[in-house]
Structure 1
Amino acid sequence: MTTVLIYKALHIFFMVAWFAGIFYLPRLFVYHAETKSADCDKQFKVMERRLLYFVTPFAILTLVFGTLLIYSYGLAWLKASHWLHLKLILVLILYIYHGYCFKLLANFKHNKNQRSSRFYRIFNELPVLILLAVILLAVLKPF
């Protein structure tokens, strides 16, 4: 078993764990934006905070093992892998998305949410589409 395969397996594992949370958190935001109950509001705040803080280390470890993969393959491979350049741009967008979730979490925490449940439904679809593009790029390597 090579080190590269271990890095690749761990990169995929942590990415899957990260995305489980990234797919579920905005769904919680949808329901939170719709609730009128103070008890539900309180419960959503706890659930959202715990989930975001639970999956953030997975996002970091995804980045660590992805970086180790790139380093293992080398600079020449990185320069020649144009599909990877696009993948990295999409991944950067996902990290920005993840960071923006902290802002949304703070808005709910301080009762300053101004977004509708419709916004959060659309917001919830963005990582799905980006993940599809990232997987297609990683598997097909079209350029």
Structure 2
Amino acid sequence: MLYLWIKALHIFFVIGWMAGVFYLPRIFVNLAMETDKNTIARLLLMGRKLYRFSMWLSVGAVVFGAILIYLAYGIHMPGWLHAKLTLVVLVIGYHHMCGPILKKFERGENTRSHRWFRVFNELPVFAMLAIVLLVVVKPF
């Protein structure tokens, strides 16, 4: 029963974290296109709050995920889980990359186009798809 509670909490935190990871780069797209100072200020405020909030959600996802791994496998993890954890580390790195990007927007130093951010915005979608497929299908 404890396992199911931990799993439910893990799923909850992952959903919240991924919402932030998906939406923050979308704010970057809008910031790269926007010229109105009031709108830029509002988007920056939204971006800062979303980055901080989703960072805390990522901590919950990682903590409950680690507990799940320990309860289910101990130290002998199957191959698909190694692949999943590699992708999770990449998503964590992606999320951390968003902080310096946000700082560049705050300082008015962004040099990338909205098209670049549109592509950047899609990367975690593919990572999340691969993670879900690995968890559900367990191909190896």
Amino acid at match of 2:111: Q
Percentage identity across paired residues of the two chains: 44
Q: Which residue of 2 aligns with 1:111?
A: 108
| Structure 1 residue 28, shift from structure 2 partner | 0.8
Q: 1:118 and 1:133 mapped to 2: Cα distance?
A: 24
Structure 1 runs (4+) greater than 3 angstroms displaced: none
| Structure 1 residue 58, shift from structure 2 partner | 0.6
- What RMSD, in angstroms, separates the aligned Cα atoms of the two structures? 0.8
Indicate the SS of the match to 2:111: coil
Q: Which whole-Å deviations, capped at 9, do the CAs of 1:32-88 have from their partners, x for residues lacking one?
A: 100111111111111110111111111010000000011112113x1xx10000000
Aligned ranges for residues 70-109 of structure 1 at < 5 Å?
70-73=69-72, 74-76=74-76, 78=77, 81-109=78-106
Give the number of aligned pairs.
139
Confirm whether residue 137 of structure 1 aligns to residue 122 of structure 2: no
Q: 1:60 and 1:123 mapped to 2: Cα distance?
A: 23
Indicate the SS of the match to 1:16: helix
Unaligned runs of 5+ in 2: none
Unaligned runs of 5+ in 1: none
Confirm whether residue 125 of structure 1 aligns to residue 122 of structure 2: yes
Output the TM-score relative to the length of structure 1: 0.94
Output the TM-score relative to the length of structure 2: 0.96
Aligned ranges for residues 6-85 of structure 1 at < 5 Å?
6-73=5-72, 74-76=74-76, 78=77, 81-85=78-82
